[in-house]
Every structure is written in C-alpha cells, then in structure tokens.
Amino acid sequence: MADILHRLPEFLGNHFYLALGFVGVLVALAVIEAQRLRRGYTAVTPAGLTQLINRDDALLIDLSSQQDFEKGHIPGAKQVSMSQFDPQSKELIKIKEQPVVVVCKNGQTSAQAAQRLQKAGFVKVFWLEGGIGAWNEAHMPLTKGRG
C-alpha cells in the first residue's frame, strides 16, 4: 500500500487528463446522488411496485391519456390526466400517510407528479421509473379497457 501511495504523484503527473476526468465523474456522481436523496420521492422498479401494491396497499395513479390507459394499464390503477391531477384534492388529502405511486407512459410525467405530491406534504411518494414501458419489459400484466 505504501508503494502505491509513493507512486501516486508520478501517476497523476503522467496521466493528468485521466485523473482530472476521474475526479469530474466522481463529483458528478456525488451531485446526482445528493439530488436524489433530497428530492423526497423514490423511484421504484416493476418488482418494487408489485411489493408496494401487495404489501402496503399503495394507491396507483396512472397519468396516461385516456386512450393509452384503455390500451393497457397496471391492474388497480386509477386514471387521472395530468391536467386534472391535483395533490390538494379531497380524495388525495385523505390518504396523505399512505403510499402513493404515480405512473405514466415513459416515467417522465410521473416524476413531475411525484414531485408535486411531495411538495404537497405526502409522506410516501413513489414513481415507476421507465413507466408502463418498463412494466411491459418486465413482462408484468396489463389490463385493457377502462379499468
């Protein structure tokens, strides 16, 4: 170990740009991780979502359009368009302490909705990373129709 530490300055001098790139990547990873921890809501995988539904009776809100929802949605999901999504609604306020999972077609809109829920004071907020596409890729069941 002492030999490695003794030769480190020589290595850094000979490979300055490589070392600088390594430090840059390390800083970027630290910043991304810090942002993830501060955001207040959690990304969940299809397997994690299944556990939340089965164990914690999580409310599942699908933000897909009505047409996409009818083509295929996660069983038990409630469809709400993003334009009508209101974290302060009477129905949602009643369940502030329960787990709430938001999903959409690709995971982008649901991440924004999760942020809105977290800002509204919801305690257990999750979003399906990758959306319905990730659910489909994991070969999980979809229900067609209005639900």
Q: State the Cα–Cα distance between residues 40 and 119, nearest whole angstrom.
A: 9
CA 31 to chain centre: 17
Please name the amino acid found at residue 6.
H
* C-alpha to C-alpha distances, 124 to 43, 87, 113, nearest whole angstrom: 11, 13, 13
By annotation, the residues acting in catalysis are 104
Q: State the Cα–Cα distance between residues 116 and 41, nearest whole angstrom.
A: 10
What number of CA atoms fall less than 13 Å from residue 5's CA on the CB side? 2
